[in-house]
Structure 1
């Protein structure tokens, strides 16, 4: 209890305290019984009946105890510096400066006596709680001793001269240091008075195009009678060449600065060339408020005495108190024991040293209800002890635990027997009956959930031991794991069969990418059906859906369902992905039959070329993915001199596309790749004359990668953009890759996203997948958009993109 400090000197009133409830005195007829509480526990938390417990004898007593509250009083001298804004109260006393502290200390004895009397009165008042007095100030000051003098710093004026301008209201300019001018800050000058010449770029020389007359011999050829003759004559022709000349606009690359006109300095803009500015400390006033007196003109001291209180509590028992009473005192704290007491009343208040009281003691007499019950259960006698107004258990003598241990032993034996059934056993009936008996006791479920949650003290710690809690957790989790695993052994082939059927059915209509996705969806559906089957089995065994859901929650917290889920999901996922990769690609039927060449038999791995081959047909084959047939057709066309085929042929040769690969063929060596690039270059050069889009793209790649060309990334990007503007999907793809990877230039996700989007709009499955990757990582976006990424990958997977199929299957790239 912390009363408000006194300010008027009136100490006669008692301290106010919150009203405490009247002492509780329980009669024998109104008090709850230990036997009733025990039977309620058995009925509510176990599967057993209350009649299984038979009372033998009961001893209900009120144990005496003493609660002592010790209050230590401490009179503390408080001192403060004050100024002219101090407002004394009517009881405060003005005195000489040297008398402030002594006069305040003189009140110490009186304040302690008043505080002790006030505390004694409060403790003896009706309804005062034993712990109503709180640590802190108990009796505030009644009188302040104070004194004020004129401030020496400002001589009582409250203002002092400014420490910067010393009353002049101005200070030296900080920019020019009073010099009124500063160095010229114009670009290139920086105080020199000269800047670079813009005509010659500071070199002092310019290039001029000079015309010259030169004599050349001009041949003339005349054709006559199937022969020819050549004659020569001279002509004067004008030629132009670049000549370096001295720049006449500057002097060795420098010209006079227009800002400072060659002087190298300009007028200070801060002080406007005056050399001084308004004082920044006093804002031009010339003086400042005095800090010691805060502008009041007076300073001094004040002192007073406050009385603080520090309460301490302890509990004691009579010498003849039984052992269980001492155990209760050690288990419960002072405040908890006082709250559990049947009654708690003040016996006496003692003040030590009436002349200079520094301690006040209050002694309370309390009574604590202790009930001792002797009971029999299953032919065994037990001694139980409960205490307090709410009958908390001190000991249950394992009476409830022994009831539950029979069910736990039966479950443990069934679990041990199940381990000998063999690896492929799927029978669960032998586990369900003992599991039902253990789960029927709600106390077991409470204990397991508390242990799995990592609580420091498991639920019902006063009812069952930590050893029992550990055993019931081990047995129940082991039984649930066996139930999950054995049901999974019965179910796994059904999920795998459903995934295979879904994958084949969808593949027949939409291709293997969509078939793999359908198989994965069927796997998820099979997993949900398996969970429903587990819930149905547990609900039938445990007696309801609520009990089954609680058992599944316990299995989930303990991680005992992981092996079963692996057995159900792994075969189904493997079947779905195997079908996605193993089923053949479905090709669109050709609209017209391709006539065969009437030439010699075609060797293995060599594509047949139709008689009506053309560059347009080769391009369509390339875009439809039949690159081997396209290359074979282009090879025939370029040998016939078809200029329209040069560009695509050069591109495919450069990139190594359409070449049939033999089984076990290794990756091309660096020499083989260089030879391929050299073979492609002439065809690309010829096609560039026709501005072919594939030739432009191929030339761009050669410049970007340094293949048969000097690296030139700006030129490479320009050529690729020209190709992309002609609708070339490969050029769009390469532009996106170069920008997203930052090849010889900064990474530009926005530009990469633009080119990938253009390629995706033209049906490029690989670029749809790349856009999904950028969405997944948030490249070019404010934040990652993984829902959009997964949607793009599903589209690409339906088009047969293998990377997208894998990303959809595993839920990430």
Structure 2
């Protein structure tokens, strides 16, 4: 901390708490404000009648006054302010800037000198507080707890920093001033474990010729002589003669691989050593210190680079106010109940006048407490009234006439309607399980709902509020009773109307299902039936709203009643009665109806058309994405494409990826030699939606297609780094096409530097999965010496023979002519 920044008001400043406007408090030199009735002539009787008129369905003239008494109750509000002198001490450094009046002293005198000011600081704070309280227009609670009087003098001392000896900088704790540290990667050894693919520090990798098995297979041709019979026909008879022919006999033999030792060869990265030079320190064993960045020393923290440290101390005076209200001994019980109910601050707001009586400072020599006594007056009005031939005693208080007690005068008016509703609910229980009449419940429900106070109470109870609405008007027992009665009536109304409506909703949903099924099939029929079920429920709600609007006298009242029923979850049974039968009818009909409707015979005459060669209808096959992928991998691309087309039409998302890839590359679409640029672009446009849909599922063929589109700039801006990322994701999923494309891009240097090592890696992974084209590519790299120290044509020929046996045409040609 820098104590040079002010933390509180200075010696000449005033108290921190602002002073309230004069209109909220009575100055001590003025007479208290007298409490009279409002200019409009408002009284407790008028307020009570307004409550009945606004919040109930009863007439206000049902309440008549017998007597009304008004008095001004005196009370005393005491504000006690406890003052405390707190010692504040801070560590400082050479950046500390003293101001005029600050005291520089010895280190052992800093805090004692600050403590010696306690008596004077408290005396001055008490004087400022007393002056503030006696100001005209000062609020009784204007002084807030916290800092009241800030420091006047700061006592401080500075010495030379012992950590840096006054220099402001210290030696680096990592390199100790040498500016270098041991390499964190190689720990100073200067070599690290080889990270070559397949090596991992062993110095050996799997042989690419034998795939690490140590043996290779080759085809051997043996020529054997066989006796071949020949039938000769002469003069109507036949005879058989035998002659010897030499025929080739092929067999596969296994021999040891002469390119490796037990399937392993030296790693080309570390040349069999297992370690390579550390790239972090460039094989030097040391790097620039990361703590000080090669400077050798660091900024000194204790002194913040200033070279000096010390401490400073001062005294701040804090205030803690406390408030209490006292009533005279002869005060009535009503006044004491009001005090206990409202509390100090609420009572001060309700008071008609509040004036400062006196201010007392205790212990003038060492003041720590200041008391302010305020005199106030509270308006209390008592009313004796008659309602329904019963006498009631009502008490209100304050300028706004808050209710202290209503003596159940409103609750007794409302309980008559509630009892009628409760009796109607009890009678409805005897109507039977299948009863659907609601008229007997609507009249008592209308009477209860006509009193807006009931709706307010129910909504507050359902919201989980601690105190229900109009807590001063009706009791918690009545609030729970009206909630139970109204929610029970609404549940009966919903349920009985649902008993009238459920078969209509089920019939409408069933008709919609069958009608749509007849033209579009069962799947669309079921969808139409479910939509009709939802529409039926909306119609049911509209019917409930119509019935309640007629009964309660308006749409607004009906909507509020429906909201209360929904919040109280009293419409759940009705929802089940309306939705369940209709939904079951839709599902049952969709299950029992056939998938398709047999089309009607076409009786229209055939139109003349161009001659088309007749063809048989394709046989029905059990199409699945897995079978289509198997056909594609086995080389039967046309059959795979035909199967995929049927799958995508049925919405099988598993077929989207391979279908998009085949469309993009033209696989299975016939000869590719005469494809125009327009046709190629059309294929790309057609393939893109399927690829995008399959990408969301992480399909490996979609990832491969996306990578090729980004690399080639097909329907996408060219972006080679993203393309390689997509292709590697697909290759990691085992996609041979992605491995093949990655190998081609790296060996050709297409939009990326030539990397024979990376190309050989991807070609090898594809060859291990049985790709004849990539076995041929590996042989071609061996022939040209790509990624090797020298060409290895023997290995190349062996690879081509393996690829030729798998049907690779280029390999067959290379084996036949002895070169690619």
Structure 1 residues 402, 721: closer, same or farther in 2, change over 3 A? farther
Partner Cα distance (1:505, 1:558) in 2: 39
Structure 1 residues 533, 195: closer, same or farther in 2, change over 3 A? closer
Which residue is equivalent to 1:57?
67
Is residue 483 of structure 1 aligned with residue 493 of structure 2?
yes
Which of 5, 19, 35 is the matching residue for 1:17? 19
* Worse-matched range after superposition: 569-578 or 62-71: 569-578
* Worse-matched range after superposition: 224-233 or 393-402: 224-233
Partner Cα distance (1:54, 1:521) in 2: 60
Task: Summarize deviations over 1:85-126 as a string: whole Å, max 9, x none.
Answer: 110111111011111111111111111111111111111111
Q: What's the offset of the Cα at 1:34?
A: 1.0
Partner Cα distance (1:470, 1:431) in 2: 19
1:76 aligned counterpart, secondary structure: strand
Is residue 323 of structure 1 aligned with residue 333 of structure 2?
yes
Q: What's the offset of the Cα at 1:409?
A: 2.4
Gaps of 5+ in 2: 1-5, 27-32, 604-613, 663-688, 700-820
2:96 aligned counterpart, secondary structure: coil
Which residue is equivalent to 2:639?
723
Q: What's the offset of the Cα at 1:435?
A: 2.5
* Worse-matched range after superposition: 577-586 or 138-147: 577-586
1:386 aligned counterpart, secondary structure: strand
Which of 422, 425, 447 is the matching residue for 1:415? 425
Structure 1 residues 589, 43: closer, same or farther in 2, change over 3 A? closer
Which residue is equivalent to 1:27?
36
Partner Cα distance (1:356, 1:39) in 2: 59
Is residue 588 of structure 1 aligned with residue 599 of structure 2?
yes
Which residue is equivalent to 1:297?
307
Which residue is equivalent to 2:674?
none
Partner Cα distance (1:52, 1:159) in 2: 91
Cα pair 1:5 1:139 within 8 Å, conserved: no
Cα pair 2:513 2:586 within 8 Å, conserved: yes
Task: Summarize deviations over 1:530-572 as a string: whole Å, max 9, x none.
Answer: 4333333332332222222222322333333344444445555
Which residue is equivalent to 1:151?
161
Cα pair 2:15 2:129 within 8 Å, conserved: no
Q: What's the offset of the Cα at 1:29?
A: 5.6
1:143-292 superposed matches below 5 A: 143-189=153-199, 195-250=205-260, 253-261=263-271, 265-292=275-302
Structure 1 residues 83, 226: closer, same or farther in 2, change over 3 A? farther
Partner Cα distance (2:193, 2:523) in 1: 73
Cα pair 2:9 2:16 within 8 Å, conserved: no
RMSD: 4.0
Partner Cα distance (2:339, 2:412) in 1: 28
Structure 1 residues 721, 317: closer, same or farther in 2, change over 3 A? farther
Partner Cα distance (1:377, 1:403) in 2: 9
Task: Summarize deviations over 1:485-532 as a string: whole Å, max 9, x none.
Answer: 444444445445555655666666666666666555555444444433
Which residue is equivalent to 2:557?
547
Task: Summarize deviations over 1:239-266 as a string: whole Å, max 9, x none.
Answer: 4544545544445555555444555554
1:417-496 superposed matches below 5 A: 417-496=427-506
Is residue 131 of structure 1 aligned with residue 141 of structure 2?
yes
Is residue 401 of structure 1 aligned with residue 411 of structure 2?
yes
Give the TM-score taking structure 1 as reference length.
0.71
Cα pair 2:15 2:149 within 8 Å, conserved: no
Count of residue pairs the alignment pairs up: 648
Partner Cα distance (1:530, 1:264) in 2: 80
Structure 1 residues 356, 257: closer, same or farther in 2, change over 3 A? same
Cα pair 1:721 1:731 within 8 Å, conserved: no
Task: Summarize deviations over 1:201-239 as a string: whole Å, max 9, x none.
Answer: 455544454554544333333233454333333344554
* Worse-matched range after superposition: 192-201 or 127-136: 192-201
2:156 aligned counterpart, secondary structure: strand
Structure 1 residues 262, 121: closer, same or farther in 2, change over 3 A? same
Task: Summarize deviations over 1:120-157 as a string: whole Å, max 9, x none.
Answer: 11111111111111111111110011111111222211
Partner Cα distance (1:779, 1:179) in 2: 47
Is residue 85 of structure 1 aligned with residue 95 of structure 2?
yes
Structure 1 residues 77, 507: closer, same or farther in 2, change over 3 A? closer
Partner Cα distance (1:5, 1:229) in 2: 130
Q: What's the offset of the Cα at 1:441?
A: 1.4
Structure 1 residues 5, 360: closer, same or farther in 2, change over 3 A? farther
Structure 1 residues 274, 422: closer, same or farther in 2, change over 3 A? closer
Partner Cα distance (1:86, 1:728) in 2: 80
Which residue is equivalent to 2:684?
none
Partner Cα distance (1:714, 1:417) in 2: 73
* Worse-matched range after superposition: 92-101 or 264-273: 264-273
Task: Summarize deviations over 1:37-82 as a string: whole Å, max 9, x none.
Answer: 1111011111112111111111111111111111111111111111
Task: Summarize deviations over 1:280-301 as a string: whole Å, max 9, x none.
Answer: 2222222222222121111111
Give the TM-score taking structure 2 as reference length.
0.70
Structure 1 residues 8, 460: closer, same or farther in 2, change over 3 A? closer
1:82 aligned counterpart, secondary structure: strand
Structure 1 residues 457, 182: closer, same or farther in 2, change over 3 A? closer
Cα pair 1:724 1:732 within 8 Å, conserved: no
Partner Cα distance (1:195, 1:754) in 2: 34
Cα pair 1:7 1:143 within 8 Å, conserved: no
Partner Cα distance (2:346, 2:309) in 1: 52
Partner Cα distance (2:203, 2:312) in 1: 68
Cα pair 1:14 1:118 within 8 Å, conserved: no
Partner Cα distance (2:640, 2:259) in 1: 46
Is residue 95 of structure 1 aligned with residue 97 of structure 2?
no
Structure 1 residues 39, 324: closer, same or farther in 2, change over 3 A? same
Cα pair 1:15 1:122 within 8 Å, conserved: no
* Worse-matched range after superposition: 88-97 or 217-226: 217-226
Partner Cα distance (1:319, 1:378) in 2: 38
* Worse-matched range after superposition: 44-53 or 154-163: 154-163
Which of 327, 336, 343 is the matching residue for 2:346? 336
Partner Cα distance (2:644, 2:17) in 1: 94
Cα pair 2:187 2:285 within 8 Å, conserved: yes
Q: What's the offset of the Cα at 1:468?
A: 1.7
Partner Cα distance (2:423, 2:504) in 1: 32
Partner Cα distance (1:329, 1:163) in 2: 68
Structure 1 residues 714, 118: closer, same or farther in 2, change over 3 A? same
Partner Cα distance (2:589, 2:156) in 1: 97
Is residue 350 of structure 1 aligned with residue 355 of structure 2?
no
Cα pair 2:17 2:144 within 8 Å, conserved: no
